[in-house]
Amino acid sequence: QGSLLYLDALGAAFPGALTHRGTAVLHWSPGCPRAPAGWPLPTLYCTPPAAAVLPSRAAALRLQLLFALRQRALRVLEAGLAAELHDALLTLRAEWPRLAQELELGRLSPQPGLPEELREELQALLSPAVARAAEIRDQCAHGFEGIALRLWPRLEVVVVRTMYGTERLYCDCLRQADCRGLPFYCPFYQAAGALLGVNLWPAEPVPRFVLCPDWAFCEFLPCLASKEPQTVLLDELWEGREYGLVVTAQPGEYRCRTGEVLKVTGFHKQCPVVEPVRRESQTLSVRGESIPEEQFCQSLCRTLSLWPGARLIDYVCVESSLLGDSSGPCAPHYEVFLELQGLRDLSEVQRYKLDQCLQEDFPIYKSFRFKGSIGPLRLHLVRPRSFTRLREALGCPMPMPRVLREEQLLQLIQGAVIS
């Protein structure tokens, strides 16, 4: 059902999207060679399934990019996460001469994370493409603004499985640069490993999803309830209200709170239509102040507007409790790690701007800061592509966590600090 609804909506909005071998997949799925949407449709794809299952995320995305570059008549770029497309196009920026050479010769170079047996298997699918390699060199030599449409002039749409929440950060970055001029379509809503809804409106810029009965058993906890909330079912939802999502994906599985909050925006043939609002697991709180992921991101973006020339590439936060003794004798506080473009260092005055914006946007946080119960926020800049390596260290394809809870990931990002 889900695949048919998706293909029908996609084909209606973008008539060439279902062309034979007209879709390139950029998605890392170790141990599970399927398309990001969750089903195998081999006739649509020009990228080999074997590339997706490599243990190395970087090697998988690079291989898929190489096979996508071969196909000039591409109609759809499909990614599991916006961050995967973002990182694949970063690889294009860094390695386009070598990628063009491999296409020209029809040979795969040995690389870390690519077993020799698989390299030979995939190389058999290649043949020399001299003219295409020359075109790629010419387009990349002219810069990367709008590079997607210049490399694939028949491209119609970018399909991304997850582009809500702070994954929009990568979508916005792509829209402004590499994928300028292309529409983005997020076809599915998934949570706790279950497919829950489908987006029937590909042309709309903000994704919204019809929750489909029978795909999983869903319950909903009303937000801001005056007393202990009781779960309600699909037919008891009210338009305009927000609900926490509780899912039992299949018979016999545990019932769990997903940490996702949805807002009901309307109904489609009596089925609720929802927008994901926030991930409760990504809330910052060292004294019970609870700063949601989305609102923190808005404060951070407002701060960036006060730093002339700075553009946000990525960020992550840590609560000082995870730092242990390394944070020193101080009140609980946040530490924020940023990757920026256009600025190599920040003055102390500039660093304080983020703490100041948070105080202006969150009165409870300001109250704790005034009393000294929460210490000043500490801000660190990290070297380029640090977050690409952090996503590799996550070990599986998942939306970027905005609040780190694991010491191993914290140590990795601390090791990338340059200022």
Q: What is the pLDDT of residue 100?
A: 97
Q: Is the dihedral of CA 380, 383, 385, 391 positive or negative?
A: negative
Give how many domains the chain has, as a whole number. Answer: 3
Tell me: do 96 and 177 sit in the same domain: yes
Tell me: do 119 and 263 sit in the same domain: no
Tell me: do 271 and 293 sit in the same domain: no
Q: Residue 195 falls within a domain, yes or no?
A: no
Q: What is the pLDDT of residue 72?
A: 95
Cα→Cα distances 285→9, 278, 290, 361, Å: 41, 15, 5, 15
Among candidate residues 231, 264, 279, the one where a domain is terminated: 279
Tell me: do 2 and 56 sit in the same domain: yes
Cα separation, 158 vs 76, in Å, equals 6
Tell me: do 252 and 296 sit in the same domain: no
Q: Residue 159 falls within a domain, yes or no?
A: yes
Per-residue pLDDT of the chain in tens (419 residues, 90 and over written 9):
677 888 899 999 999 999 999 999 999 988 765 555 545 566 789 999 888 889 899 999 999 999 999 999 999 999 999 999 999 999 999 999 999 999 999 999 888 888 888 898 898 999 999 999 999 999 999 999 999 999 999 999 999 988 777 788 899 999 999 999 999 999 999 887 788 999 999 989 889 999 988 778 899 999 876 667 889 999 999 999 999 999 987 655 678 888 899 999 999 988 999 999 888 878 888 988 889 888 899 999 999 999 988 999 999 999 999 988 766 778 999 999 999 998 888 899 999 999 999 999 999 999 999 999 999 999 999 999 999 999 999 988 888 899 999 999 999 999 999 98
Tell me: do 259 and 377 sit in the same domain: no
Tell me: do 215 and 163 sit in the same domain: no
Q: Which of 109, 136, 133 is nearest to 122 (CA)?
A: 109
The answer to whether 395 and 412 have CB atoms below 8 angstroms apart is no
Q: Residue 127 falls within a domain, yes or no?
A: yes
**Strands (E) located in 184-224:** 184-185, 188-191, 194-198, 209-211, 217-222
Tell me: do 62 and 19 sit in the same domain: yes
Model pLDDT for residues 86-130, shown as the tens digit of each residue: 999 999 999 999 999 999 999 998 888 888 888 988 989 999 999
Q: What is the pLDDT of residue 251?
A: 57
Q: Residue 140 falls within a domain, yes or no?
A: yes
Tell me: do 80 and 136 sit in the same domain: yes
Q: What is the pLDDT of residue 324?
A: 80
Cα separation, 26 vs 32, in Å, equals 14
Q: What is the pLDDT of residue 151?
A: 97
Residues of the chain with pLDDT > 70: what percent? 94
The answer to whether 97 and 123 have CB atoms below 8 angstroms apart is no
Q: What is the pLDDT of residue 250?
A: 65
Q: Residue 260 falls within a domain, yes or no?
A: yes
Among candidate residues 243, 258, 279, the one where a domain is terminated: 279
Q: Residue 201 falls within a domain, yes or no?
A: no
Cα separation, 289 vs 283, in Å, equals 9
Pairing of strands 311-319, 209-211: unpaired
The answer to whether 354 and 347 have CB atoms below 8 angstroms apart is no
Cα separation, 348 vs 318, in Å, equals 20
Q: Residue 200 falls within a domain, yes or no?
A: no
pTM for the whole thing? 0.90
Tell me: do 307 and 255 sit in the same domain: no
Q: What is the pLDDT of residue 248?
A: 85
The answer to whether 300 and 347 have CB atoms below 8 angstroms apart is no
The phi and psi torsions of 59 (rounded to 5 degrees) equal -65, -40
Tell me: do 215 and 355 sit in the same domain: no
Residue numbers of the domain that contains 86 = 1-186
Q: Is the dihedral of CA 311, 293, 146, 385 positive or negative?
A: positive
Instruction: Give CB contacts under 8 A, 24+ apart, made by 320-326.
Output: 320/286, 320/375, 321/286, 322/404, 322/405, 322/407, 322/410, 323/410
Q: What is the pLDDT of residue 41?
A: 64
Tell me: do 48 and 68 sit in the same domain: yes
Q: Residue 172 falls within a domain, yes or no?
A: yes
Q: What is the pLDDT of residue 92?
A: 97
